[in-house]
Structure 1
């Protein structure tokens, strides 16, 4: 499980702070730019006709003028880009909320059946779904088809009663001639409750409090 994540609200505050600093810097540059123009105009207006401004010095001041102007325009463009990217990132994060994401992670059983996506070995002639509780104890094990078709774990005891609510993990055991070839974690669908950003990575908080990287998700579907 991933910990120490930064929420989208904290990320938004950091963006706002960065934009505020950029705006203040831009206002400062704009003020310097206007001051420079007034000084250059005044200097040209009141120069001594008998000792006019040296052409090389004038060219240097014009070059400075061009640099200040370009810096002001660049800052305007950067500010607009930051605002656009910030809006895009927030839109991407919000698109995860209340979706069902398929990933290898413990499922939060609260009474509803859990959809499991098995991936048994093609060479296997038998496959079993193994269910473990939060303590790692096996609570269920039964044979499933040697296929990638989804299977459903109902969460029911043998007498039909409902198992204890909580986190359960799933593995698929692949057998051939009674020999265990592979015991591999199986992906399940989880409802996404929150999306966060940490060091440039999108982290999804699932309905049971589990945290996974968005890069671990192999499928997304609408919440039924």
Structure 2
């Protein structure tokens, strides 16, 4: 390996870092000095083929471009990561409304209910975290919201915990539709999973951010 080739190999082996650009400039000056020295001291009777100079210059230029490209991609990746974090941060601490379970802590839970428009009756069904029905009661077809007091059908207060709600819409005693009412919950964590924003709510519910219909 000639001296100039060794300079090119040394550049290719150097790890990429944030200060690579000044190092590239410095190495290119060194490369030119070494190339000039090699030309001055070559054997006049056996001069170096000009194509060898071109190959060495092209090799160094290719290494330089690859290093600069890697730096650019690394910078773009960092910027995209920072942008993603900036989009997540505003969610934390917000009250978001979405079709999801709600935590009961002794205070009434307000639900946004939407019975099927063609229904002639609707029932709110409440389940505990084990999926057991702990309460069911009729709903008004004209009200957009309803409050659940946290008591069962016998009027007994239920323990604190995460509860699931369903609105069953009936027409002439035939079930037409089952929907999940929307409730407000506090966002305690926001993260990205498979390219989508996912929210962890106070109480343990996990929902996709695109399911949120209102925030406060």
- Please state which band the TM-score falls in when normalised by the shorter chain: 0.7 to 0.9
What TM-score results when the alignment is normalised by the length of structure 1?
Answer: 0.72
State the SS of the aligned residue for 1:46: helix
> Residue 139 of structure 2 aligns with which residue?
143
Which residue pairs with 2:4 in the alignment? none
Shift in Å, 1:151: 2.8
Distance 2:81 2:55 in 1: 39
Whole-Å Cα distance in 2 between the matches of residues 57 and 27 of structure 1? Answer: 32
Matched residue SS, 1:67: helix
Q: Output the CA distance in 1 between the equivalents of 2:155 and 2:127.
A: 18
Q: Which residue of 2 aligns with 1:25?
A: 16
- Aligned residue runs from structure 1 range 202-213, under 5 A: 202-213=197-208
Distance 1:73 1:203, change over 3 A: same
**TM-score normalized with structure 2 length:** 0.74
How far has the Cα of 1:43 moved from its partner?
2.6
Q: Residue deviations 1:34-59, cap 9 Å, x none? A: 54652442132332373544222222
CA separation in 2, counterparts of 1:60 and 1:114? 75
Higher relative contact order by CA 8 Å / sep ≥ 6: 1 or 2?
Answer: 1
C-alpha contact (below 8 Å) 1:26/1:75 kept by paired residues? no
Q: Distance in 2 between matches of 1:100 and 1:155?
A: 20
1:56 aligned to which of 51, 55, 58: 51
Query: Aligned match of 1:90 in 85, 89, 92?
Result: 85
Q: Where does structure 1 lack aligned partners over 5 or more consecutive residues?
A: 1-22
Change (3 A) 1:33 1:213: same
Q: Which of 168, 186, 194 matches 2:181?
A: 186
Q: Please tell me whether the aligned partners of residues 124 and 146 of structure 1 are also in contact (alpha carbons under 8 angstroms).
A: no
2-structure distance, mates of 1:74, 1:151: 58
Of the three residues 189, 204, 219, the one matched with 2:213 is: 219
Report the number of matched residues. 198
CA distance, structure 1, for counterparts of residue 63 and residue 103 of structure 2: 58
Q: State the distance in 2 between where 1:151 and 1:143 align.
A: 8
